[in-house]
Chains A and B, each alone.
Chain A
Amino acid sequence: MDYLGIIFAVIGAALSVTLASIGSSKGVGMVGEASTPVLIDDPSKFSRLLILQLLPGTQGLYGLVVTVLVMLNIGLLGGSAAPLDFKTGLLYLFACLPVAFGGMASAILQGRVAVTGVTVVAKKYSDSTKAIISATLVEFYALLCFITSLLMVMNIPAITGAA
């Protein structure tokens, strides 16, 4: 029964990085696909396209940070993993959900916005900063999810006294 807590915490950590990375890879891939024809036509537009392509990639990093933090808290990284009670494990699992699902959804949607931005870069290069700003706005919601998960994971040891 003691291992049930660890299992839930690891599921949360795994979900956090996996779902956010799925969203990021989908978003980055989508923008990359859309950018290729523009690069074939005019390679000098690479820098703006790279920014657009990088934007949906941050969610994967947010997921990874939360995952690492969970693993540190439960001692999985240092090799000092101690049995965790069921409730604490569940807390970790739920704490990971905002960055997992919010990260995934925002990365995909940010990718879609960035794809429209690619057309702006191709057709109206002088206005491409506006397209980058539009795509950046979606990042705000990914950040909200990340900060929420981060604060929750950081404070679980204090709540449960399992620090």
Chain B
Amino acid sequence: MVRKSDETRYAYAVTAVRVRQMKSLEQSDLDRMVAAPSFASALAVLEAKGWPIPDGIADTNAILARELLNAWNYLVEVSPDPSLFHPFILKNDFHNLKAGIKSVLSDYEADTYFVYPCSLSAETLKKAIDDKQFGLLPEPFSSLGAEMYDILVHTGDGQLSDILADRIALDETLTCARRTEDPLIIELTEFFCAVTHIKTAFRAARIGKSSEFIDRAIGTCDTLNRAEMIECTSEGVRPLLDYLETTEYRDGALILSSSASEFERWCDDKTMTMLENVRYIALGTAPLVAFWLGKEAEIRNVRIVLAAKQAGLTPTEIRARLRRLYV
């Protein structure tokens, strides 16, 4: 935990990210993008805000990935202790491990589907996967990589290897967050892990997965009773929703009962709500956390608008999909 006396170490970093945030997209910019008559004019709004947009047909994913990576690199550059923010990117490391093993087994380069930023070195991960030397990786990636590889080679069961990786990813993310002893990071990570378990449980309940599968897929977190959730999930969607209504996620459960995509939006908006008071904090790690999660929200919104523009959705339909921004 960053003690009160240590908060002053973050004076430079906090102002640096606040200055950077002044160049972030605001609601009015998003409104202009939504109202833009075409995909190209929506991109022009981004270009006017200083986003580097290459000439010709724009590769949206590359633009967004670069913007996100730039934000991460900036956070690492200014932060006295960048490892505090690893709980927010660990999911990318686990994604890379999964994608890398599957790519190699499908005769692609291991790093074809890597996403960034990540805490593990991409070169080391690629080498470990290419050479099947998972011992090069730290725990739990080492044992997980070897186990996933065995499952995929011997059974070809991609779903089994995925649920194994996803559960360990969530457990590791929570452990990593608790190591920081930072209350905001722990609270946000707990929320992220809990809603991910809820999404997994909901999907499992909807397609009637076995108790054994559910037991493997759902991990532990402080705000959900794992045993009760597994039992309710194996009984079906209604018992699961009834259980969720007894938890602090009851608002989300109500939304989940009507629409899974609305639940996703609720999760994103709730994260921004949790960061609402951070804008009044002058020192410490919280403004840096808000900077990163705010940037993720901004990128998510831009992705939604650009994809919707390409798909020819109306402004009303696009607005219904937009998330809250951290501004």
Interface size class of B (residues with CB under 8 A): 10 to 19
Contact status A30-B8, CB under 8 Å: yes
Residue from A26, A38, A112 in contact with B15 in the complex, judged by beta carbons closer than 8 Å: A38
Interface size class of A (residues with CB under 8 A): 10 to 19
Asked if B62 is at the interface of the complex by the 8 Å CB criterion, the answer is no
Shortest distance from the beta carbon of B284 to any chain A beta carbon, whole Å: 11
A36 at the B interface (CB under 8 A): yes
Stretch of B16-24, B152-160, B221-229 at the chain-chain interface: B16-24
**Contacts across chains A and B counted by CB atoms under 8 Å:** 48
Chain A's nearest CB lies how many Å from the CB of B215? 49
In the complex, the chain B residue whose C-beta lies closest to that of A119 is B18
Q: Which of B180-202 contact A (CB under 8 A)?
A: none
Q: Is the CB of B19 within 8 A of A122?
A: yes
Residues of A with C-beta under 8 A to B16: 36-37
Whether the pair B15, A37 counts as a contact (CB closer than 8 A) is yes
Assuming the A-B contacts A34-B14, A34-B15, A38-B15, are A122 and B282 also in contact, with contact meaning beta carbons closer than 8 angstroms in the complex?
no
A33-B12, A38-B15 known; A115-B282 Cβ under 8 A: yes
B22 to A122, Cβ gap below 8 A? yes
In the complex formed, the residue of B with least CB distance to A117 is: B282
Q: Are A123 and B8 in contact (CB under 8 A)?
A: no
B164 at the interface (CB under 8 A from A): no
For the complex, would chain A's binding face be called helix, strand, loop or mixed by DSSP majority?
A: helix
Q: Which residues of chain B are within 8 angstroms of A33 by Cβ–Cβ distance?
A: 11-12, 15
The reply to whether the CB of A35 lies closer than 8 angstroms to some CB of chain B is: yes
A129 within 8 A of B: no
State A118–B78 Cα separation when bound (angstroms).
17
CB-based nearest A residue for B9: A33
| A116 in contact (CB, < 8 A) | yes
B52-108 with Cβ < 8 A to chain A: 78
Bound-state CA distance A72–B5 (Å) is: 36
Within 8 Å CB of B283, what residues of A?
A: 112, 115
A119 / chain B contacts, CB cutoff of 8 Å: 14-15, 18, 282
Contacts of A122 in B (CB 8 A): 15, 18-19, 22
Contacts of B22 in A (CB 8 A): 41, 122-123
Most buried by B among A37, A40, A116: A37
**Residues in B whose Cβ lies below 8 Å from that of A37:** 12, 15-16, 18-19, 78
* 21 sample A-B contacts, Cβ–Cβ < 8 Å, listed by A number: A26-B8, A30-B11, A33-B11, A33-B12, A34-B11, A34-B14, A35-B15, A37-B12, A37-B78, A38-B15, A40-B19, A41-B22, A112-B282, A115-B8, A115-B11, A115-B15, A115-B282, A115-B283, A119-B14, A119-B15, A122-B22
